Amino acid sequence: MTEEPIGAGRTAVVTGASSGIGAATARRLAKDGFDVVCAARRTDRIEALANEIGGRAITLDVTSSDSVAALAAAVQRCSLLVNSAGGAVGLEPIADTDPADWQTMYDTNVLGILRVTQALLPALIASGDGHVIVIGSTAGHIVYEGGAGYTAAKHAVAAVVETLRLELCGQPVRVTEVAPGMVHTEEFSLVRFRGNAEKASRVYEGVEEPLTADDVADAVAWCATRPRHVNVDLLVVKPLAQAAQYKVHRTS
């Protein structure tokens, strides 16, 4: 007798699914038997991904309340929400940074999580076995020069996760933060450095094995597939080469 996939019968919504950790997570959850809703701004990418994994594509801008409301209206059942949409902009010191960059990061990383979680919470509770997983960052637990805008946003994300867990105590919804360290994806550093590929590549220079998006997706799937009475509060995942945000072993 073939054993049923562990995610069978459960619907997962993954934001930021057009690339990187979000796309890898959607693929992994589909492999584990979840019905996956791929949600992101780039419709062509999420439609291709949904076709690949047998999921659904819903265009989503987490900074738009109307877009989030449309997502909630289209998703009648949801037992797992993976908030993966986010990102960093700039690496300037506080003295020189543009407040607009901070606003962009806060709106995407923090308010985006608020909007989507708030909209899908009734469905998550109604499922009887809900789970909110937020892709945070080690930047939400430590600071570094030039990173104040991003670390401030990710510290806020960590606070949102911890507060949500307190507020949902007694409800059938688990709340988890997965906090990756150095992850080499195709877009994160490129976006941070405003398309400067040379600067983006230097972030990973000499690091033989940074994390991949698949590594983080594996961590998300592990948290999502624990027994329903088991809540993983915080899972920090770093490559072996990274002892801390400021201490990374480089071969060159």
Active-site positions read 150
Crossing angle of helices 148-167 and 99-106, rounded to 10°: 30
Strand order across the beta sheet in which 173-180 lies: 56-59, 35-40, 11-15, 80-83, 130-135, 173-180, 234-237
> Is residue 11 classed as helix, strand or coil in its secondary structure?
strand
177 strand-pairing partners: 134, 234
At 228, which amino acid appears? Answer: R
Instruction: Take residue 96 and report the two structure tokens written for it.
Output: 């020189």
Look at residues 20, 23, 58 and name the one whose alpha carbon lies nearest to residue 41.
58
